[in-house]
Chains A and B, each alone.
Chain A
Amino acid sequence: MENMSIQSNIHLKVKVYWPLIKSLQTGLLLMTGFTGFISSSCPVMNWRMTLGLLGSLFLTVSGSTILNMVYDRDIDSRMKRTVHRPLPSGQINANEALLLGLTVSLLGLGWAYILMPLYALVVFGGLFIDVVIYTIWLKRRTAWSIVWGGISGGMPILAGRVLGTGRIDDIGLLFMLAILLWIPTHILTFSMRYNEDYQRAGVPTFPSQYGIVPTRLIIALSSVGAALAIGVGIYALGLSWGYLRLLAVLTSGLLGLAIVSIFRPSEKINFGLFKYASVFMLGSMIMVVIGAMP
């Protein structure tokens, strides 16, 4: 009887805590880290390294997400979209979440250090930029904070590449640049959709500071930039022309939607672009993984 009660308690805790790590976002970042790792043609690939990469990245990305959630709980409580999250809704104690975030992050960093100190340094860079520079320092001050959000979002793919090659190289930086340029398409379409929410919470965004049309233009330009960076990265990796052809196809869809969103804007197109951008990035990552597999 007591065992069952402990089990249901654990089950309840996991259910409440799970949303703190934003599993979809964390999953996408893990995918980019794995892509960076596989892109190194894997002379060093083995289960210890692969599991180490995925485990350490999962812990550090989850840890930084939890820490962000703790710091941003006041913002979340003012936004319709986020008011039901576990922290603003009071389902979880902030100190408990803070302790969990720190513990999980440190475990992830420790694991990363055991795998390779340079890899751990890149992972730490991602965590520091995300939590300290982006969330604590800049998010509430300037709409340009998304650039730092983009850099931290690009760190997992660079980290994966570093773990595979043992150094920071041009291809890793190109892939990181691709993620950095893709982030505006993702975040800005999102901030347009929830513009009122962000304004209510007092978070500066591009739509509120510069208007909708310039924001749409930035989305279109960053989409092209992201596609170019991924394309050059795929070319530099020496993948077959077939992958570049498919990338051109996916890019034309992304660009087409971005252009439609400038000249025929609508809520549906905007959110479609947001979703397409995620599919585009996922598709690009899968291409690199399949193409680079030995």
Chain B
Amino acid sequence: MKKVTVPDRLLFVLTIILASYLIVKGFSGFTETETTLLSIAMGVLVIAGLLLLLFGFEILENKAVVVVATITPLSLSLSLIVAYLPQFSLIYWVLVMAGFFAILFTRYFSSNKVAAMVLAPVHGIAGLIIFLLPVVFSLNGQAPSRFALVGVGGALFGIGGLLLAFLKSGKPLLSKETIFSILPALLVITTACFVLGF
């Protein structure tokens, strides 16, 4: 297992600081419910950074971490739907809840293959929403142009999530060492995109 290096630690600390800043600053133009959902998404990034800092990359082997890590894309995509496509709020709430519990269940009571088969579409749908919605809305002029950065952050986060998901399923796209080497930088760039985008 790759050891956490000093630069990794610095990047984790930076991720924690950036995500904490966003939570404290708040999200201008978003309602209380949306702010809560966005804070949960950023909160998971804070916790993830702290756990990686304290426990190292070994923590990613833990099943619970995979489940908790899905909270960020799910709550982030949900907040975007509630804010920008409210007519789909109810159906997406149901999808998010069903997806989360399906991931939770399969992670503990199914094979790795089934768990990955459930994780991929749930992550995929949430990732597409986080990537496309901000980009489309900022291009349409219905949101400020900087909002597109949320989409960039979402895409990067999705890449990280996919790399880890395939790694867990036993069919890694990149070697474990490589994934763990780029993960700290990916996390901090993703969070920076969210800070600038919101």
For the complex formed, measure the closest distance between the CB of A208 and the CB atoms of chain B, giving whole angstroms: 26
Q: Mark B19-56, 1 if CB is under 8 A from A, else 0.
A: 01001111000000001100100110011001100110
Q: Are B39 and A249 in contact (CB under 8 A)?
A: yes
Is A252 at the interface (CB under 8 A from chain B)?
yes
Nearest residue (CB) in A for B38 is A245
Contact of A268 among B39, B50, B55, B64 (CB under 8 A): B55
Complex contacts, A287 vs chain B, CB 8 Å = 24
For the complex formed, measure the closest distance between the CB of B40 and the CB atoms of chain A, giving whole angstroms: 8
Q: Are A252 and B25 in contact (CB under 8 A)?
A: no
Q: Chain A: interface secondary structure? A: helix
Complex contacts, A45 vs chain B, CB 8 Å = none
Q: Are B47 and A242 in contact (CB under 8 A)?
A: no
Q: Are A242 and B55 in contact (CB under 8 A)?
A: no
Complex contacts, A243 vs chain B, CB 8 Å = 24
Q: Are A279 and B47 in contact (CB under 8 A)?
A: no
Is A99 at the interface (CB under 8 A from chain B)?
no
Nearest residue (CB) in B for A276 is B54
Complex contacts, B20 vs chain A, CB 8 Å = 246, 249, 283
Number of A interface residues at 8 Å Cβ cutoff, please give it.
Answer: 20
Complex contacts, A283 vs chain B, CB 8 Å = 20
Q: Are A249 and B54 in contact (CB under 8 A)?
A: no
Nearest residue (CB) in B for A246 is B23
Q: Are A276 and B23 in contact (CB under 8 A)?
A: no
Once the chains are docked, how many angstroms separate the CA of A1 from the CA of B63?
Answer: 64
Q: Mark B41-79, 1 if CB is under 8 A from A, else 0.
A: 011001100110011000000001000000000000000
Contact of B50 among A241, A246, A279 (CB under 8 A): A279
Is A80 at the interface (CB under 8 A from chain B)?
no
For the complex formed, measure the closest distance between the CB of A137 and the CB atoms of chain B, giving whole angstroms: 35
Q: Are B23 and A249 in contact (CB under 8 A)?
A: yes
Q: Are B24 and A240 in contact (CB under 8 A)?
A: yes
Contact of B26 among A242, A249, A256, A272 (CB under 8 A): A242
Q: Are A252 and B24 in contact (CB under 8 A)?
A: no
Q: Are A253 and B47 in contact (CB under 8 A)?
A: yes
Q: Are B50 and A245 in contact (CB under 8 A)?
A: no
The 3 closest A-B pairs by CB, nearest first: A249-B43, A242-B24, A253-B47
Residue numbers of A with Cβ under 8 A of B are 240-243, 245-246, 248-250, 252-253, 256, 260, 268, 272, 275-276, 279, 283, 287
Residue numbers of B with Cβ under 8 A of A are 20, 23-26, 35-36, 39, 42-43, 46-47, 50-51, 54-55, 64
